[in-house]
Amino acid sequence: MKTVKDYIRTIVDFPHEGIMFRDVTTLFADPRGFRMAIDQMLHPYAGMQIDKVVGLEARGFILGGAIAHQLTVGFVPIRKKGKLPGATISEAYTLEYGEAVMEMHDDSIKAGERILVVDDLLATGGTAAAGIKLIERLGGEIVSTSFIIDLPELGGRKVLENMGMDVNVLCEFEGA
C-alpha cells in the first residue's frame, strides 16, 4: 500500500548543487495521494476547535485551502513581502544566505482565535517561526503546526518545539 512519502519525488541538485529537492507537486497531482495527505493532516485535529487555517507561501496555500474547506473554517495566507494588498504586519527572518520578510493582513486574525498553521515542508523552521510570530502578534492562539515533510537534519522541528508549538508531520526525508 502506498504512503504519502511514495508520491513525493526527489530532484537532485535543485535549485542548486548539493540540494535534494523534495517535490510535492507529484503528490498534489495524484488524486489519491492528495486526498491521503489532506486526510492525514486533518486526523490529529478531529473534534478540536479550530477557527482558522493559516497557510505559508506558497504550497501551504494549497494544503491550507483544502484543510480549511474540510474543517469549514476560514483560510489566511502568510505571504512574502509586497504580495498582499491593504494594511499588513511583517516579520523578518534569516535564510541560509540573507534575510526574508513574511507578511499577513493586520485584520486577518482576531485575538483568541484558534489557529492551525500548515505548509508542505519543515526545514530550518525560519518561515514557520516568522509566521507563528505574526499570528501571535495579532493575538491568535496556535493550536498546532502541520507539515507533509520534515527534514530532521535541518532542525526546524526543534525550533518550533522550543517555541512551545505542537508539530505534526506525515513523513521525514534524510539529507537536505
Which residues are designated catalytic? 59, 96
Could you give the strand order of the β-sheet that contains 98-105, starting from the edge strand earlier in sequence? 88-95, 98-105, 74-80, 52-56, 114-122, 141-150, 167-172
Query: Cβ distance 115 to 141 under 8 Å?
Result: yes
Find out whether the peptide bond into 15 is cis, omega within 30 degrees of 0: yes
Nearest to 7 by CA among 22, 20, 19: 22
Q: Where are the beta strands (DSSP E) in 69-131?
A: 74-80, 88-95, 98-105, 114-122
Query: Which residue matches cell numbers 507561501?
Result: 57
Nearest to 67 by CA among 36, 38, 29: 38
